[in-house]
Structure 1
Amino acid sequence: MKKILFAASESVPFIKTGGLADVVGSLPKYFDKEKFDVRVMLPKYMCMKDEWKEKLQYHTHFYMDLNWRKQYVGVLEMEYDGIRFYFIDNEYYFNGYAPYGDIYADIEKFAFFSKAVLSALPLIDFRPDIIHCHDWQTGLVPIYLDNFRYGNEFYRGIKTVMTIHNLKFQGTWDPKRVRDITGLPQYYFAPDKLEAYKDANYLKGGIVYADRVTTVSNSYAEEIKTPFYGEKLDGLMNARANCLSGIVNGIDYEDYNPLTDNKIERNYDVSNFRKEKIKNKIALQKELGLEENQKTMMIGVVSRLTDQKGFDLVAYVMDELCQDAVQIVVLGTGEEQYENMFRHFAWKYPGKVSANIYYSEAMSHKIYASCDAFLMPSLFEPCGLSQLMSLRYGTVPIVRETGGLKDTVEPYNEYEKTGTGFSFMNYNAHEMLATVRYAEQIYYDKKRDWNKIVERAMNKDFSWKNSAKQYEELYEGM
Structure 2
Amino acid sequence: MKILIVAAEATPFAKVGHVAEVIGSLPSALAKLGHDVRLVIPRYGRISPNKFDLKPVINQLNIPLKNERTEPVSVLASSLKEEVPVYLIDSDRYFNREGIYGYPDDDERFILFCRAVLEMLPQLNWQPDVIHCHEWHTALIPYWLKTQHATTPFYRNIASVYTIHNLAYQGIFGYRVLEIAGIADYNFIYNNAQEHSELVSLMSLGIRHADIISTVSPSYAKEILSPQFGENMNGLLNERSDRLCGILNGIDTNHFNPATDRYLAATFDVKTLKKRGANKLDLQREIGLPQNPDIPLIGMITRLASQKGLDLLEQIINPLMQLNIQFVLMGTGDQMYHEFFSQIAQRYPDKMALRLTFNAILAQKIYGGSDIFLMPSRFEPCGLGQLIAMRYGSIPVVRKTGGLADTVQDFDPATGEGNGFSFVEYDQWMLFATIVRALETYKNREVWHKLMERDMQRDYSWDSSAVEYVKTFQRAIKLRQKVETV
TM-score, normalized by length of structure 2?
0.94
**Shift of residue 151 of structure 1?**
4.9
Residue by residue, what CA displacement relative to the aligned partner does 1:33-79 show, whole Å, maximum 9, x if unpaired? 56411101111111324544553334342212223211102111122
Give the C-alpha shift of residue 465 in structure 1. 0.8
Confirm whether residue 475 of structure 1 aligns to residue 473 of structure 2: yes
Q: Partner residue of 1:394?
A: 393
How far does residue 31 in structure 1 lie from its aligned partner after superposition? 1.5
TM-aligned CA deviation for residue 391 of structure 1? 0.4
Q: What amino acid is aligned across from residue 453 of structure 1 in structure 2?
A: L
Shift of 1:276: 0.9
Partner of 2:404: 405
The amino acid across from 1:132 in the alignment is H
Corresponding position of 1:132: 132
Note the C-alpha offset of 1:192: 8.4
Residues 217, 247 of structure 1: 8 Å contact kept: yes
3-state SS of paired residue (2:154):
helix
In structure 2, do the counterparts of structure 1 residues 204 and 265 end up closer, same or farther at CA, with 3 Å as the change threshold?
A: same
Classify the secondary structure of the residue corresponding to 2:105: helix
1:47–1:99 Cα contact (<8 Å) kept: no
**Deviation per residue, 1:200-258 (Å, 9 max, x gap):** 21100110000000000011000000111100001111111111000011110011110
CA positional deviation for 1:291: 1.5
Count of residues paired in the alignment: 471
- Aligned-pair CA distance for 1:377: 0.3
Is the Cα contact below 8 Å between 2:115 and 2:141 reproduced in 1? yes
In the aligned structure 1, how far is the partner of 2:203 from the partner of 2:433?
39
Matched residue, 2:479: none
Tell me the residue number matched to 1:360.
359
Distance 1:194 1:340 in 2: 33
Contact 2:188 2:200 in 1 (8 A): no
Partner of 2:483: none
Q: Match of 1:121, as an amino acid?
A: L
Instruction: Kindly indicate whether residue 76 of structure 2 is the aligned counterpart of residue 64 of structure 1.
Output: no
Asked if 2 retains the 8 angstrom alpha-carbon contact of 1:194 and 1:205, the reply is no
Question: Conserved in 1, the CA contact under 8 Å of 2:60 and 2:72?
Answer: yes
Please show how residues 150-165 of structure 1 align to structure 2 within 5 Å: 150-165=150-165
Deviation at 1:90, TM superposition (A): 1.1
Within the alignment, does 1:190 sit opposite 2:190 as a pair?
no
Secondary structure at 2:100 match in 1: coil
Going from structure 1 to structure 2, the CA distance change for 1:344 and 1:51 (only over 3 Å counts) comes to: farther
2:263 aligned partner: 263
Contact 1:79 1:85 in 2 (8 A): yes
**CA distance in structure 2 between the partners assigned to 1:34 and 1:279 by the alignment:** 38
State the distance in 2 between where 1:322 and 1:97 align: 40
Offset at 1:168?
A: 0.4
CA distance in 2, matches of 1:63, 1:258: 48
Question: The residue matched to 2:405 in structure 1 has which SS?
Answer: helix
Listed as ranges, the gaps of 5+ residues in structure 2 are 477-486
Contact 1:301 1:330 in 2 (8 A): yes
CA displacement, residues 112-163 of structure 1 (integer Å, 9 cap, x when unaligned): 1111111111001110110000000001111122233355211111110000
Aligned to 1:215: 215
Alpha-carbon displacement from aligned partner over 1:153-176 (angstroms, at most 9, x marks no partner): 11111110000000001112222x
Aligned to 1:466: 464
1:91 — aligned with what?
92
Q: Which amino acid aligns with 2:5?
A: F
**Conserved? CA contact 1:59–1:77, under 8 Å:** no
Aligned amino acid, residue 202 of structure 1: L
| AA of the residue aligned to 1:125 | N
**How many percent identity over aligned positions?**
39
Please tell me whether the aligned partners of residues 170 and 201 of structure 1 are also in contact (alpha carbons under 8 angstroms): yes
Q: Distance in 2 between matches of 1:421 and 1:369?
A: 16
Per-residue displacement from partner, 1:65-104 (whole Å, max 9, x unpaired)?
22321110211112231100011111111122201123x4
SS state at 1:20 partner: helix
Verify the 8 A CA contact 1:194 1:200 in the aligned structure 2.
Answer: no
Aligned to 1:74: 74
Distance 2:58 2:271 in 1: 50
Answer whether contact 1:309 1:380 (CA < 8 A) is retained.
yes
Shift of 1:288: 2.0
C-alpha contact 2:217 2:248 (8 A) present in aligned 1:
yes
1:342 deviation in Å? 1.9
Partner letter of residue 209 of structure 2? Y
Residues in 2 aligned to 1:111 and 1:253: alpha-carbon distance in whole angstroms:
34
Aligned runs of 1:283-362 on 2, under 5 Å?
A: 283-362=282-361
- 8 Å CA contact 2:4–2:38 kept in 1: the answer is yes
Check 1:151–1:215 CA distance in 2 against 1; reply closer, same or farther (3 A cut): closer
1:454 is aligned to: 452
2:372 matched residue in structure 1: 373
SS in 2 for 1:291: coil
Match of 1:100 in 2: 101
Q: Single out whichever of 288-297 and 157-166 deviates more from structure 2.
A: 288-297
Which residue of 2 is the match for residue 383 of structure 1?
A: 382
The question of whether the paired residues in 2 share the 8 Å contact of 1:383 and 1:405 is answered with: yes
Give the conservation status (yes or no) of the 8 Å contact 1:195–1:205.
no
Q: Confirm or deny: 8 A CA contact 1:308 1:380 kept in the other structure.
A: yes
